[in-house]
A = this chain, B = another copy of it.
Amino acid sequence: MGDDHSAARPLRADARRNRDRVLQIAQEALASDGLTISFDEIARRAGFGVGTVYRHFPTKEALVEAVLLGRIERFVADARALATAEDAGRAFFGWFTTVVEQAAANQALCDMLDSGSGMALRPGSTLADDFAAALARLLARAQRVGAVRPDLQAQDVHDLLRGCLAAERRARARGGAVRMAEVICEGMRAKPTSPPPTF
C-alpha cells in the first residue's frame, strides 16, 4: 500500500522525457522569477501546452514542491549532520550562512522560506517541522556553549533567517559586497565581554 505510484505504470518514454524537461525548465524559471511566475508561462518556456504540464503536476503548488522540496530537505540534512559537530557555535553560524548563501541565489526558494507566499513549507507539513527542529537543535547546542545570545528562541532565529534572506537577495540584485549573513550572525553572537560597553 506504500507507493502505488512507482512500479504500477512505468510512464511512456516520451512522457518521462517531457516530465524531466518540464522539471528542468521550471527549476530555471522559478530560480530567476520566483514563485509569482505563472504556470502558463512555465509551460510556454518549456514548449508544452499547459494541459501537458498539468498532466504531470496536478497543481502549480505540486510543481513548485517537486522543484524546491529537495533543496529544503538538503538544508535539513546539513543541519542534522552538523548537530554533532565539535564546535557548536561554528556549526550554527556556518549552517545559517550556508542556507542564506544558497537560498539567495534562488528567487523561488527565498519566496518559499520567506513564507510570504503561503505555499508549501507552511506549518503542518512534515518538512516545516523537520526544518524547525533541526534549527532548534543547532541553536540549543550553540547557546549551551555560550556562542549565541541565550535570549534568542528558535522562532526568532527562523525569522531572522527570513529577514536575512530578504536583505541578501536585495543586496545581490545590485551587486552588493557585504554579506548580510555575517552582519546578522554578529548580532546573534553572545557578547564576549560581559560588562556591556557602559564606557
A:152-199 near B, CB below 8 Å: 152-153, 155-156, 159-160, 162-168, 170-171, 174, 176, 178, 180, 183-189, 192-193, 197
Per-residue 0/1 for A128-159: is the Cβ within 8 Å of any B Cβ (1 yes, 0 no)? 00000000000000000000010111011001
Would A187 and B176 count as touching, CB distance under 8 A? no
A188 to B, closest residue via Cβ: B183
Would A183 and B180 count as touching, CB distance under 8 A? no
Would B155 and A176 count as touching, CB distance under 8 A? yes
Q: Bin the interface of chain A by size.
A: 20 to 34
Instruction: Give the number of times this chain occurs in the complex, counting copies.
Output: 2
Q: Contacts A151-B178, A152-B178, A166-B114; is A183 near B160 (CB within 8 Å)? A: yes
Q: How far is the CB of A43 from chain B (nearest CB, A)?
A: 25
A192 to B, closest residue via Cβ: B197
Complex Cα–Cα for A187 and B191 (A): 11
Would B156 and A176 count as touching, CB distance under 8 A? yes
Complex Cα–Cα for A166 and B162 (A): 7
Q: How far is the CB of A189 from chain B (nearest CB, A)?
A: 8
Q: Which residues of B contact A171 (CB under 8 A)?
A: 155-156, 159
Q: Which 8 A-B pairs have the closest CB atoms?
A: A187-B187, A163-B167, A163-B163, A186-B187, A183-B187, A159-B167, A159-B170, A163-B166
Using A159-B170, A163-B166 as known contacts, list a sample of 5 further A-B pairs with CB atoms less than 8 Å apart, ordered by residue number in A: A153-B176, A156-B176, A162-B166, A163-B184, A183-B187
